[in-house]
Homo-oligomer: A and B are copies of this chain.
Amino acid sequence: MNMPNEQRRSERSRQAILAAALDLCRERGLARTTVEEIAKRAGVGKQTIYRWWGSKAAVVQEALNERVNATTDFPDTGDLRADLRAQMVVVAEAFASADFAPYVSLIAAAQEDPEIAASLRKVMLEPRVRACAERLRRGQEQRQLREDVDVDVVVEMLYAPLYYRLLLRTRPVTPEQVTEIIAMAFEGLAPPGRDGTPGR
């Protein structure tokens, strides 16, 4: 994207485009949304979209990024598992919401467009992963989490099942799932042995 003069840009058009793109994406998914429709609904010329964005996916992502709660702070009440649960329930509820469709569409688009993938990771994923990892590290200091685990892998283990259901649609994402994940992850799958530590 080598941009034209940013200063002369019409904020009115920009907002109308982001809103229209997001609406259409919610209504029928990104694949069935066309640049022409976005332009028409936003009351804007197509060129204005092509001037500032590289693809309809880029528009949706900017819209999403601007509207999604920007706070990536993680609660820290001192109780790691409670804090994780609280945060993950928020995520689970977001995943279950109909408004979340554009994010799913974007992940789909990212599968065949490395640029979207990179930008998604950088903008949507990494800040939240980092916040969670930090909370986990504090949890290690507070002796609420094993010290010999890689917190980045823990983040994956906790959140991956939510993404699994989100993307493979085997079952709905629910707060109950969060409860189960945390319980299983913290308590482990090994049956309680005599000394509390399983073999291997």
Q: Which residues of A contact B (CB under 8 A)?
A: 29-32, 81, 104-105, 107-113, 117, 120-121, 125, 129, 143-147, 149-150, 153-154, 156-157, 159-161, 163-165, 167-170, 177, 180-181, 183-193, 195-198, 200
Contacts and interface: CB of A to CB of B under 8 A. Distances in A.
A168 B108 contact: no
The number of times this chain is found in the oligomer is 4
Contacts of A161: 153, 156-157, 160
Give the interface SS of chain A, mostly helix, strand, loop or mixed.
helix
A164 B121 CA distance: 12
Contact of A169 (B117, B154, B183): B117
Given A111-B108, A190-B145, A164 B159 contact: yes
Contacts of A181: 153, 157
A189 B146 contact: yes
A30 B111 CA distance: 10
The 4 A-B residue pairs with the shortest CB-CB distance, nearest first, are: A196-B196, A188-B188, A160-B164, A108-B111
Contacts of A112: 29-32, 105, 108
A160 B180 CA distance: 14
Kindly name the residue among A143, A146, A192, A193 whose own CB sees the greatest number of chain B CB atoms within 10 A.
A146
